[in-house]
Each structure stands twice: as C-alpha cells, then as structure tokens.
Structure 1
Amino acid sequence: MFSADNLEPYYLSRTDVNHPLASCSKFGFELDDANWPSVEHYYQGMKFEDPALREEVRNAAHPNKAQKLAANNKRSIRKDWKQMREVVMTRAIYIKCRSHPEVAAALLATTEQKIIETSQYDYYWGCGRDGLGHNTFGKVLMAVRSKLREQQSV
C-alpha cells in the first residue's frame, strides 16, 4: 500500500460552487433547527448569536452574499468565534456528507490524499500564496473523511 506521502495532493477551493466538497457548493442540510443552503451559509450564520442576523445570513441568495452579510456585521460576531470556528466548520461538513451520499463518496474518493484548500489569501483556512498557510479547511475535510471511514468499517 502507498503511504499518503506518495500520493499527489488533492487541491480544491472552498469558493467553487460546482465542487461538492467546497463550502460554497449548494448542498443543503438541516442543522441546529434550520435548513441551510450551503456549508458557507451555516458557517457565516453561526458567527452570530442574534437570531435575526443569523436568519438573514441563512436566507442569503448566494454563499458570497452570506459572506458579505457577515463581513458587514463583524462588530456583532460572537466573542468566542475564533475558538468555535473550526468546530462549526467540521459539524457542517460532516452533516453535509451525512445528508448527501454523493458528497461523502467524493470525499472518500480522495483516498489517503492530503487535501489542500488553494486560497492564496487565506492563511487560516487555505494554504496561502506561499503554501505555508494552516490549510485548516483541508484538515477539516481529512478529519471528516477519517470519521466516515471509521463509520463504514463498523
């Protein structure tokens, strides 16, 4: 068997609305008593404790609009957001995979590849321009992939 080091990395962009693993792709799911049109809607909405603001983000026509609404209301972002953001993203990706077998299949098809989010400007979620970013989105996808594999083998 090949080690993950021998496989080509799997590159994707969170903002690619046509890629099933992207947070902006329109694969809706139910979580926290609401139906969310995309992972990005959920992620942006969960930045806020105010139910009206959260609902406004949830109802945004496009994931980009959800991002803009959140950015325009950055003074209202919950105080613990930096501690919560990875958990929120992980929950959303996992529920998306559980709600859409084709998304789970796409994630499992990456086998043991390292998944890299290609954002040149985001050094937290992506790899950054120089490839030295945290790649947190890729790490979240790989963690969910491991969890799905674990559940398959039970």
Structure 2
Amino acid sequence: MTIYFYSTRENPYGCFSNFSRHGVLLDGKWWPTVEHFFQAQKFVNTPYADRIREAPSAKQAAELGRSREVPLRPDWEEVKDDVMRRAVLCKFETHPKLKKLLLETGDEEIVENAPGDYYWGIGRDGSGKNMLGIILMEVREKLRSESEVH
C-alpha cells in the first residue's frame, strides 16, 4: 500500500508535511516548522532568513521563501536536497511520536501528493520526482538502522 500525504489535516500522515507544526532546533535556532527552516536556507545568514523564521505560519514562510525580491544563495540548486534531508531527519529525531509513526510505515512507499509540485511531490499527473517522499523513506531507513544498533 502506498502512503500518500499532502495536507497537514490528513490523518494520520498529515504530520509528514513540512507545514506540520513540529518545530526543529537547527543551527542554534528554533524553527516552528521544517518549511520555515527550508525556505530560510535559501537566504542563509541574512536578515531575510530571520524574517522567514519569524513568519506566523508555514504558508507565510513558504510565500516569503518563494519571493525573488531577495536573491537566492548561488548554490541553492546544489544544496536544497541536503538542506531538506537535514531538516526532515531533525524533525523525526525531535518528535518521538512522529518517529514511531514513520517507522510503523514499514517498507511502504511514501508519496507527497502535491498537485502543484513536480519536484518535491508527484504533481497533478503523478509524474513528479517525489523528492520529499524519497527523503522521508531515506530518513525512515536511517532511523530504523540507528534503532537496531541501540
């Protein structure tokens, strides 16, 4: 069975969304959501990154991050997958209930059913890369192997 998620309101897997209110401590700062962290990294070490971190919602953080009024860091395309991996791993390491839920998905495929996103999700027609789903499965495998060691 494939596990699809998109909206934070979906149960039980809405928490897999980067918009879910499961904060992370990264680079010495608390981020309200993975989305806040991810979008701010496009403008790392700038006042604009702090503005994104302080956004009242993940939706607003995403809108600020998608603005092109402020230049993106030049290496963004090369680092964005690793930025996402780091943030998603931190989220599931920080929140034990989420970690348990992710591990309970076994070996099922995880798919971000995002109609407008052909990179992180599968897009409207299912042809997208599903990078967020792939990263969630990588994180699940990493967490599983770490728990087997302990």
Question: Shorter-chain TM-score: which interval?
Answer: over 0.9
Displacement, 1:50? Answer: 4.0
Report how far residue 73 of structure 1 moved: 3.7
Give structure 1 regions of 4+ aligned residues with deviation exceeding 4 angstroms.
none
User: Which residue of 2 is the match for residue 24 of structure 1?
Assistant: 19
Paired residue type of 2:84: M
Structure 2 SS opposite 1:26: coil
Q: Give the structure-1-normalised TM-score.
A: 0.90
Residue 85 of structure 1, aligned match among 57, 63, 80: 80
2:28 equivalent to 1:36: no
Q: Secondary structure at the match of 1:134?
A: coil
| Pair 1:120–1:40, CA change in 2 (3 A) | same
Unmatched 5+ stretches in structure 1:
1-7
The question of 1:147 aligning with 2:142 is answered yes
Q: Give the SS at the match of 1:129.
A: coil
Question: Gaps spanning 5+ residues in structure 2: where?
Answer: none
The percent of aligned pairs where both chains have the same amino acid is 36
Cα distance in 1 between the residues matched to 2:124 and 2:63: 23
Aligned pair count? Answer: 146
Residue 46 of structure 1 aligns to a residue whose secondary structure is helix
Residue 64 of structure 1 aligns with which residue?
A: 59
Instruction: Name the SS for the 1:47 alignment partner.
Output: helix
Query: Which among 89, 102, 125 is matched to residue 94 of structure 1?
Result: 89
**Equivalent position amino acid for 1:61 in 2:** P
Report the TM-score when normalising by structure 2: 0.92
